[in-house]
Amino acid sequence: MRTAGWAAVAGIVSAAVFLAAAELVALLVGQGASPLLAVGSFVIDIAPQWLKEFAISTFGAYDKIALLAGLGLAVVIAAGIAGVLELVRPPLGLVALGVAGALSLAAVLTRAGVPPFAFLAPLAGTAAGVFVLLVLARRLRGWRSPAATASDAALDRRRFFVVAGIAAAGSILVGVGSRVVSSVNASITAAREALRLPAPASRVQVPEGAELDVPGLSPLYTPNADFYRVDTALTVPEVDPATWRLVVDGRVGQRVELTFDDLVDMGLDEYSITLTCVSNEVGGDLVGSAIWQGVPVRDVLRRADPDADADMVLSRSIDGYTASTPLDALTDDGRDAILAVAMNGEPLPLEHGFPVRMVVPGLYGYVSATKWLTELTVTTFAEDEAYWTPRGYDARAPIKMSSRIDTPRTGTPVQAGMVPIAGVAWAQTVGIERVEVSIDDGPWQDATLSTPVNRDTWVQWMLEWDASPGTHYIAVRAVNADGELQIEERAPIAPDGSSGWQRTLITVQ
């Protein structure tokens, strides 16, 4: 390998030491001190809307893993360049590493909920990385120096490989070990498992016929493990219910602060609600239904006595994420907007907002479903805006009526004969009246609907089809309880959700 190649290796090893030392210190002072996560979160914040949608549509639930992989590749390339600079133009490599440390320090200190002494992690990482790069660059120059004797060059070569090997192995063990330990969430997992919620005062009554028995059809209620997750958190925040607090302030007659026990003591009820992400494409799977347990948001807001001129509630997550929810959607006695503490019969999973999240039917999640909730600020749309609003999304975002074909699927041929076409449809706060299916642009046929649980939960639908061999187009559309037809025209995700009838190509053998 040429000298520049070994210099690049020295830079990469030094960067690995930087990250490992920083992760070790972050393990001691708090998760929010990690430079890798802080920089990753900063990248998420500044990424343009089109790039965010591309990541979600391409990688789905693995979008954050893809981000970290891309960030890691960028670090490797930049570190290699720093190593070469330190060899040919010292101390530019050290300066580059110092600038990286300063940027990571700024990223850490500007994140929401930063722990005390968080600055120690990037400082320790920078110091360790600079020291290793300085040592390796000196050994490499001595090894490759024309003036060096053969024995001195051999000694410097051995020392280069020894230092590089030990540093690389140590950084892998320390860095990976620290990240694994940090991600275990052992204490919060134990707190969740030990949590015993009181029985709800009322339970969801699932009527007979609410679920159709069709293979390949989405279940009425989505298992927690399969429920979609889209948020801006690179790692799942750790929130202990024993120390959790909800603050209600802003344009209110009285500031309110509740503990977890205060909230639960208000009385829990069950609610059947479908959630939809604004990033859900036509026919997409970023939608799911669950039975939630919680407390109506209106009961909490009533204690604070919102001002008459307020029209929005800015909800805030512990990681700094914010959502803008119309105040009337939260105070409407006819809408089950809740602060949820349980999902499908168990405390909220950590990744779905434990210990408390918002759930508001009829509004896309980015303006209504704040996870790891800590604040409700009563305000106005004129005064405040939430995380996604300046990024090109509508501030209010009512969910559009939609229908989806679950089976048969494109790319999975079916046998000729009687084939069930089935899927789900939703029109929250209104309800679905009927679902219609067209085959090969033929007449629209009424599908059989499942018995609705309520107007906020999707319904299943099914149509028996006598399928003939060949390729066929299947289209679906829904009509809500007000007689309104689902929008046919296609619309992109931004600024207020996709629209359009799903059409899918099916092969019959």
Band (417; pLDDT cuts 50, 70, 90): very high
Tell me: pLDDT of 178 over 80. Answer: no
For domain 402-508, which architecture applies? Sandwich (2.60)
pLDDT for res 39: 81
Q: What is the mean pLDDT of the chain?
A: 90
pLDDT top residue among 31 and 445: 445
SS3 312: strand
Q: Where exactly are the structural domains of the chain?
A: 3-184, 224-391, 402-508
Q: Which of 152-166, 173-187, 195-209 has the highest mean pLDDT?
A: 195-209
pLDDT for res 284: 95
What average pLDDT does the segment 122-140 reach? Answer: 90
pLDDT for res 485: 98
Instruction: Residue 428: name the closest of 298, 222, 287 by CA.
Output: 287
Quick check: 386 and 322 in contact, CB under 8 A? Answer: yes
* 40 phi, psi to nearest 5 deg: -60, -45
Band (227; pLDDT cuts 50, 70, 90): very high
Residue range 224-391, CATH number = 3.90.420.10
Diameter of the chain measured on Cα atoms? 90
State the Cα–Cα distance between residues 119 and 109, nearest whole angstrom: 7
Tell me: pLDDT of 151 over 90. Answer: no
The pTM assigned to this predicted structure is: 0.79
**CA neighbours within 13 Å on the CB side: how many for 448?**
14
Tens digits of residue pLDDT in 201-222: 999 999 999 999 999 999 999 9
